[in-house]
Structure 1
Amino acid sequence: MKKIKFLLILLAFILVCINVFAAASHPFNVSVSGKGKQAIVFIPGFTCSGDVWNETTIQLSRNYKCYTLTMPGFAGQKAQDEPSLKGWVKDIIEFIKTEKIEKPIVIGHSMGGVLALMLASDHPDKIAKIVVVDALPCLSAVFNPAFKSVETPDCSKLIETYTQMDNAKFAVAQAAGVKRLVADTSKYQLITQWGIQTDRKTYGKMYCDLTNTDLRAQLSSIKCPALILLEAPFKQFDSVMRAQYAQLASAQIEYSSKALHFIMYDDKDWYMTQLTTFIK
């Protein structure tokens, strides 16, 4: 009897170690909910927690297994020494392989949308569908049509700007920026807090990385269906938006009639209808 008890304790210890190792093997936080044959991977945007998808996953977890990520350094998560978009793509695809997730649907908001595009173009055989929520393959080209990305951008000055910024000034800047991103005033404090809790080095490095990214040419590698949901103000620049996605043959571009950047908060019914119709 004592021997059996000892073996059970040993087995429990081993299982705990395996779980800790599995959790530690991925640099991002993962929350799992729901069940179903089809899996969905949710990637939040710049500085955001995976909690940005809470209302979405409550509905979709009835029929799908949902994996919600919070990227390292964002919203209080432990930071990486050298974060990058390309590195995060490798981390996410490794997670998909490790967890044996068969051809998930990937839904990304903002920077998460850029990561969804990168995943689908770099690994076209691993992704079933993508949904891009208010993101563009080359944001900088909207403001500068002559923009060209560089192989190794110097992010040191931008990182220094944010790491040396006074805490109070940084908090004020976060609060001011949020007002241009979401119309739902009840979300101001939540989104602001995620920004304040974000690691400053990660903030500077990933902002630099994002503004140097140009995926327009490589969109032709994407073979899966793609739904692009864009905020209302972008509608007046429809030709520019469609030019951004010109190389993505499967792109279905839809505009909200009232939402700002956080479409999932500002136009909930329209957003959920678009989402559920597409993923079915």
Structure 2
Amino acid sequence: MKKLVICLLLLCSVSAFAQNPAIKIEKSGKGTPVLFLPGFITPGSMWTETANNLKGKYETHFVSYAGFNGIAPIAMPWYSTIKKELVEYIKVNKLKRLILIGHSMGGNLAVDLAAELGDVVEKVIIVDALACMREVMMPGVPAESLQYESPYNKQMLEMGADAFAQTATMMGQGMTSVTEKQELIKSWILEADRKTYVFGYTDLLKLDLRPTLTQVKVPVLILGAPFPTKEIVLPNYEKQYANLANKKLEIAPGGRHYIMYDQPEWLYIQMNTFLAQ
């Protein structure tokens, strides 16, 4: 009887965990709907300044992901569950002429959604995101070789608080040149659910959207950061998005991964020009 009670409790615990929402969305304004998709570990509110500088009337939908920013974690797989719930959200809310704006992982989601939803989407803006970052970070490594249970992931999960804080500090410094924003990014990493941070990143490394790009028919603006140099990143972008027919690619004059922090005015000009066309 005792074993039965324990099993039932565990079953209820797993069931409740599985039912946690994968996304949290804050909606405001009236006009053309814009789904703002942040990057890994980043809250949807990161897009507030960008949204405030768009010219026109928009209904904004700021997305945040499970496991980050105080949102309860979900079971793996992580990325595909987020995508599924976003598709459901768009359909349930009957969003039409939808504009997708995504940074980093959010750019991957924007491509994925545009490919699946077809005419529902009108335009896509991708900010510093690659269709397959594994190919650049781990060239030649097949996706099937990356698993949740790995020595590296085990090390990350067991890393002590001080060592993890040092890692978060280096991550923040590498992603923007703005000091106060480095601290902000560090805080997002430290607040993240550790398993989501580790296993969710494995999902992203396995992701390859290059074949999916052929299904995207709407205009796409790709904005890349010139880090470490434009000469290095430009060929990567051209190769990664070769299958995307209707695209415009621009590389920022400076800055790092969070272009909206390092080159905000340039970003606003590029976005507004593209949306007005």
Q: Fold conserved (TM > 0.5)?
A: yes
1:35 to 23, 30, 38: 30
Give the aligned length. 255
8 A contact 1:34–1:61 mirrored in 2: no
Q: Percent identity, aligned pairs only?
A: 33
Residues in 1 aligned to 2:213 and 2:115: alpha-carbon distance in whole angstroms: 6
1:156 is aligned to 2:149 = yes
Moved over 3 A (4+): none
Q: CA deviation at 1:185?
A: 1.1
RMSD of Structure 2 on Structure 1 (CA): 1.9
Give the AA of the match of 2:112.
M
1:115 to 105, 109, 115: 109
Residues in 2 aligned to 1:104 and 1:39: alpha-carbon distance in whole angstroms: 5
8 A contact 1:83–1:202 mirrored in 2: no
With the length of structure 2 as denominator, give the TM-score of the two structures: 0.86
Q: Could you give the per-residue CA deviations for residues 79-105 of structure 1, whole angstroms, max 9, x where no partner exists?
A: 112242222111101011111211311
1:135 is aligned to 2:129 = yes
1:86 to 61, 80, 98: 80
1:146-185 matched pairs, under 5 angstroms: 146-150=140-144, 153-157=146-150, 158-185=152-179
Q: Could you give the per-residue CA deviations for residues 198-241 of structure 1, whole angstroms, max 9, x where no partner exists?
A: 11111111111111111112211101110100001252122222
Give the AA of the match of 2:253.
S
With the length of structure 1 as denominator, give the TM-score of the two structures: 0.85
User: Alpha carbons of 1:250 and 1:215: their partners in 2 closer, same or farther (altered >3 Å)?
Assistant: same
Give the AA of the match of 2:230.
K
Q: CA deviation at 1:148?
A: 3.2
Residues in 1 aligned to 2:191 and 2:20: alpha-carbon distance in whole angstroms: 23
Residues in 2 aligned to 1:65 and 1:110: alpha-carbon distance in whole angstroms: 22
8 A contact 1:131–1:226 mirrored in 2: yes
User: Alpha carbons of 1:266 and 1:191: their partners in 2 closer, same or farther (altered >3 Å)?
Assistant: same
User: Alpha carbons of 1:61 and 1:94: their partners in 2 closer, same or farther (altered >3 Å)?
Assistant: farther
Residues in 2 aligned to 1:166 and 1:76: alpha-carbon distance in whole angstroms: 20
Q: Please, which runs of 5 or more residues in structure 1 have no aligned partner?
A: 1-23
